[in-house]
């Protein structure tokens, strides 16, 4: 089995694959101060609860955007998994996966590992011009050409950051739950006005920015697909006309795909 690890700024999402089948998935808060032994306690308990024998894990791939946690994860992997692995653990970076995608940004080493994984996973599925929108702590737009070239993208504050800013930086605006949409764009009370601003506002932002990117990515209006992923993608997708599909497992599936491509399994 393959242990896939996606370490984000807010959450760490992990999955266990048996071939192409996801047999276990967990989402925990990312804590930069968590030592490798504490990771062992947490995840070995999760494996046990899922009736999974750690000795059956013969591959590990890690994508991280949190350097402090990346070090802890590497130490955990080397300490507790090395005896069972048939291939070295794969830590995703622009350098380590350079054979899988051509990165055309000014500084390839600055591109987040998760963004590269998403780009490869989406291109392998569709093999055309793509925009991948990841709704995480930040919202990222990643642009991939039909020739599997990572071209760059945009980064903007995520939904949770915006909601936190509204409630903490203003005196009268409360914390709200946006899982239930407002009845109208024009809010007739504070909560509905805030919900409208977030849901309709981000939906319009996504569509407007996608249109501008489309003109640069496909100047002759070549075919292009727009995918969404990330923990909050399902909240905004209904308010966007340009998002064509939501794939919340894109990164985990991409890690599984990338590991097998890298080691030609």
Q: Is 114 a catalytic residue?
A: yes
114 annotated among ligand-binding-site residues = yes
66 annotated among ligand-binding-site residues = no
12 annotated among ligand-binding-site residues = yes
118 annotated among ligand-binding-site residues = no
- How many angstroms separate the CA atoms of 119 and 150, rounded? 7
- How many angstroms separate the CA atoms of 64 and 69, rounded? 8
Given a contact cutoff of 8 angstroms between Cβ atoms, the answer to whether 23 and 1 are in contact is yes
86 annotated among ligand-binding-site residues = no
Residue of 20, 37, 51, 114 marked active site: 114
79 annotated among ligand-binding-site residues = no
Given a contact cutoff of 8 angstroms between Cβ atoms, the answer to whether 246 and 213 are in contact is no
134 annotated among ligand-binding-site residues = yes
* Plot region of 233 (φ>0 → left; ψ -120 to 50 → alpha; else → beta): alpha
Q: Which strands make up the sheet holding 59-64, listed edge to edge?
A: 21-29, 11-18, 2-7, 59-64, 90-91
Structure token digits, residue 116? 């590269």
140 annotated among ligand-binding-site residues = no
**Residues annotated as catalytic (active site), given as ranges:** 114
Which amino acids are annotated as binding site for ATP, given as ranges? 6-13, 137
Which amino acids are annotated as binding site for K(+), given as ranges? 134
Which amino acids are annotated as binding site, given as ranges? 6-13, 112-115, 134, 137, 190
């Amino acid at each position: 089995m393959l242990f896939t690890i996606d370490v984000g700024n807010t959450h760490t999402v992990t999955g266990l694959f048996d071939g192409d089948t996801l047999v276990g998935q967990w989402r925990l808060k990312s804590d930069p101060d968590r030592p490798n032994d504490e990771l062992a306690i947490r995840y070995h308990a999760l494996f046990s609860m899922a009736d999974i024998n750690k000795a059956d894990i013969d591959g590990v791939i890690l994508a991280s955007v949190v350097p402090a946690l990346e070090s802890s994860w590497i130490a955990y992997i080397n300490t507790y998994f090395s005896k069972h692995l048939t291939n070295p653990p794969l830590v995703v970076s622009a350098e380590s996966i350079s054979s899988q995608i051509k990165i055309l940004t000014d500084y390839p080493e600055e591109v987040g590992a998760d963004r590269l994984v998403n780009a490869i996973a989406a291109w392998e599925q569709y093999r055309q011009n793509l925009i991948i929108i990841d709704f995480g702590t930040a919202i990222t737009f990643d642009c991939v050409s039909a020739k599997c070239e990572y071209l760059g993208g945009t980064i903007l504050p995520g939904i949770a950051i915006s909601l936190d800013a509204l409630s903490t930086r203003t005196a009268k605006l409360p914390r709200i739950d946006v899982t239930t949409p407002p009845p109208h764009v024009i809010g007739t009370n504070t909560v509905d006005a805030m919900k409208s601003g977030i849901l309709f506002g981000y939906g319009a932002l996504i569509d407007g920015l996608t249109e501008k990117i489309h003109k640069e990515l496909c100047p002759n209006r070549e075919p292009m697909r727009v995918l969404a992923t990330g923990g909050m993608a399902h909240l905004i997708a209904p308010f966007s006309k340009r998002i064509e599909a939501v794939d919340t497992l894109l990164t985990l599936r991409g890690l599984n795909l990338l590991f097998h491509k890298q080691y030609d399994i």
